[in-house]
Structure 1
Amino acid sequence: MATQVRHPIWLPAVRPAGARTFATLYTLESFARASIASVIPIQAYDLLRSEQSVSLLYTMVALIGLSVTLFMPMIIGWLSRRWVYTAGVCLLAVGALFFMTDTLWGQLIGMLARVMGASALAITLNLYIMDNIRKTEFMQSESLRMASSMLAWTAGPTLGVFLYSNYGLLAAHGVVVLFSLTLLATFWYFRLGDNKMIRAGNVAAVNPLANIGRFVSQPRLRLAWVIAFGRSCFWTTFFVYGPLLMVVTGQGELAGGLLVSAGNALLFTAIFWGRAGKRFGARATMAFAFVALTVALLAAALAGESLPLIAGGFLLFAAFFTIALDALGSTAFLRAVRSYERPQMTAVYRTFLDFSELIPPLVYSVVLAFFGLGAVFCTLAVFTAICGFFTWKYLPKSL
């Protein structure tokens, strides 16, 4: 009828997604994950009473998480990005509930839920970033995202260990649930899944093995994976074996949390590294960072268990240079991946995190059977030196 009027439904105006949108989401996600980053290895050690057993537990979890990551494009095709992201947030909260049981099975399931949730969040967030950020702005966007998460990764580990040591499991893991709910509400407020500027999240289901083959066939993607794997191996080692070094040498659980927090406090330098990459080039900056990281790790290995505080200091130097790789490393992938295969290649690229949580603990479990904790850092130094060589030799100067 001509007299009928259809009134529009007014929704709160939300700015188009940009670098600050993704920095906000990543910061909240970081709070949810960082608050128990140091608690998990300490809790696992309290249950198992063996550094080698802790390494094997991490290896088992990473192996299962890897299979989930490879099938993520198919899951996104079934559920769409917004629901995969939502499921990832919920898995972080569910994992926290299992950790509260203080049992070995609860520890295992909690770690699995945490790994699968992190995988879902990382892949979907990267897809949103590639849809909304120009390639020429990736370096600036990524350095902002890393720097914005500084508070979370600085205060979170110490807060988690403090709550765990003084108020127990419910307090330490309850914080994760709180931040997860905040992240979920913020994500739906931004309405990323409904934004018309974003292409549809649905993708055709592709055999994960075919995706791996396609990824491996592209040299620039292979190199981007190696760079990301190298830096992630450091953080896995730092988060797990840094606190263990403090606990085993009698420095205390809080010292382990403070070490991790101090390393994460350096995330504010991501802005500096972003500018350095723009001034001197990503290749030169990342190659230099790998060399400096290797030297710092060797120094930490020499200090070892006999001088744990000095070893911790060198690990902080190593963290400073690893942040350069955090700020610049993903640019190598974001600029190389083709737009029509982003979901599939992003899922394969994301396996660097799963492998970094799988291979180092497996290797370290063998190393620890014959040597002390210092040998862990020496082993990692050998690999970061190799990564630095490949970065300098094969990364394009124009990046």
Structure 2
Amino acid sequence: MITQVRHPIWLPAVKPAGARTFATLYALESFARATITSVVPIQAYELLQNKQTVSLLYTLVAMIGLSATLFMPLLIERFSRRWIYTAGASLLAIGSLLFMTHSMPGQLLGMLARVMGASALAITLNLYIMDHIRKTEIMQAESMRMAWSMVAWTGGPTLGVFLYTHYGIVAAQGLVVVFAAAQLVAFWYFRLGDNALIRPGRTRPASPLRNIRRFVSQPRLRLAWVIAFGRSCFWTTFFVYGPILMVATGQGELAGGLLVSAGNAVLFTAIFWGRAGRRFSARKIMTLAFFAISASLFAAGFSGEIWPLATGGFLLVGALFTVALDALGSTAFLRAVRSYERPQMTAVYRTYLDLSELLPPLVYSLVLSFFGLGGVFGTLGILTIACGLIAWRYLPKSM
């Protein structure tokens, strides 16, 4: 009939969301975040000229970011996941615009926008993954997601520092805006929708405090959180104090970017670690990883600022084993969480990232009052030993 309306052919032609879909979205997000990973602490150090004050700044930002994370389920319920994801990508771009002011207010607000944007993206993406990926395929999908982001986390930090030192802050931060825009285009092209199954019912409380109590009451969720917190503490320390180590010891800003890029280059081993986990059990691989990280951190603590290049090398060894936890660690949570409370429990689980950005800088600000940067790495080594013992004791042998 002449009045019949035909929809464009390309709309229904988009393939159902799968592991490649989420690997693509995460890779674009990684480019948006990784490009200024080394630039942000260097900017903060240039503005404040004090390592201890930089730690306190990160602590303040993490405290505010933690509050935003806990209230994220309320926002998702009110506005839907697709709009929260969109807001998260937009905040990454807004944060970079604020960084361009190169002022303390711009630095603080830019870091806040960056933290809240990352929180919104992490929670919503995890919800989409649990919607579309079977539990038996999660380990493989997660290792693919980490491996695909390898290019971003390898080249991004060095590229960002190169642009910052040679072409100025606008060039480095402007690239983030481009990647955030590309991420939004890809997201809306894939047309990921909300699943009614995971939307909380009217009788289910959405209070952040009640969500925390519910999370803590489940041993497997507690265990998953500890594993994630331990690995995230390593990356927080590596991304912030690695570049500061290079700058403070006279190696230069570019050396800091190269160190972070080299640490991220080992993300390509995520697929290897995923296969190792399926063959030898995730429990054994994760326990081995934690103990190996501890050994490398104690070695880095010993060399400290005396032999900065050796310290950087030890940190790279730790990064290699931390990738194993990236590839396998989230499996513990994704397999344990119940479908009807995914938004609430995912938000609480996501606090591992906020607290890993809050507590270590707070502790390190005290450590730095008495010791150098070597004390920072040694302190983290004690935490990772504890995480390794917990993983060995409580992770199911069948995992």
| TM-score where L is the length of structure 1 | 0.97
Q: CA deviation at 1:398?
A: 1.4
CA distance in 2: counterparts of 1:84 and 1:344, whole angstroms? 15
SS in 2 for 1:192: coil
- Corresponding residue of 1:72: 72
Q: For residues 267-346 of structure 1, what are the structure 2 equivalents within 5 Å?
A: 267-346=267-346
Paired AA for residue 291 in structure 2: V
Q: Secondary structure at the match of 2:6?
A: coil
* Mapped contact 1:73–1:203 kept (Cα < 8 A): no
Shift of 1:11: 4.5
Tell me the SS of whatever aligns to 2:193.
helix
Task: Show the counterpart of 1:104.
Answer: 104
Cα drift, residue 374 of structure 1: 0.4
Contact 2:300/2:310 (<8 A) preserved: yes
Amino acid of the residue matched to residue 15 of structure 1? K
Contact 1:78 1:202 in 2 (8 A): no
Partner of residue 37, structure 1: 37
Deviates more, 1:289-298 or 1:6-15: 6-15
- Matched-pair contact (CA < 8 Å) for 1:211–1:344: yes
* Counterpart in the other structure of 1:6: 4
| Mapped partners of 1:97, 1:352: distance in 2 | 27
The one-character-per-residue Cα deviations of 1:80-132 (angstroms, maximum 9, x if unpaired) are: 00000000000000000000000001000000000000000000000000000
SS at match of 2:189: helix
CA deviation profile, 1:245-297 (whole Å, cap 9, x unmatched): 00000000000000000000000000000001001101010000000000000
Does residue 189 (structure 1) correspond to residue 189 (structure 2)? The answer is yes
Give the Cα separation in 2 of the matches to 1:5 and 1:184.
Answer: 34
Counterpart in the other structure of 1:58 = 58
| Shift in CA distance, 95/46, structure 1 to aligned 2, threshold 3 Å | same
Contact 1:283/1:391 (8 A) holds in 2: yes
**Cα deviation, residue 369, structure 1:** 0.6
| Structure 2 contact 153–265 (Cα < 8 Å) conserved | yes
For residues 145 and 286 of structure 1, what CA distance do their matches in structure 2 show? 18
Give the TM-score normalised by structure 2: 0.97
SS in structure 2 of the partner of residue 305 of structure 1:
coil
SS at match of 2:107: helix
Deviation at 1:8, TM superposition (A): 2.6
TM-fit CA distance, 1:4: 6.5
What amino acid maps onto 1:168 in structure 2? G
Which residues of structure 1 form unaligned runs of 5+? none
Matches within 5 A, 1:1-399: 5-12=3-10, 13-193=13-193, 198-199=195-196, 202-203=199-200, 206-399=206-399
* Cα distance between partner residues in 2 of 1:263 and 1:321: 10
**Alignment partner of 1:342: what SS?**
helix
Q: Which amino acid aligns with 2:372?
A: G
Q: Contact 1:304–1:374 (CA<8 Å) still a contact in 2?
A: yes
After superposition, the CA RMSD in angstroms is: 1.1
What letter matches 2:4 in structure 1?
R
Moved over 3 A (4+): 198-205
Matched residue pairs, number? 394
The Cα of 1:7 is off from its aligned counterpart by 2.0
In the alignment, the residues of structure 2 paired with residue 292 and residue 220 of structure 1 have an alpha-carbon distance, to the nearest angstrom, of 24
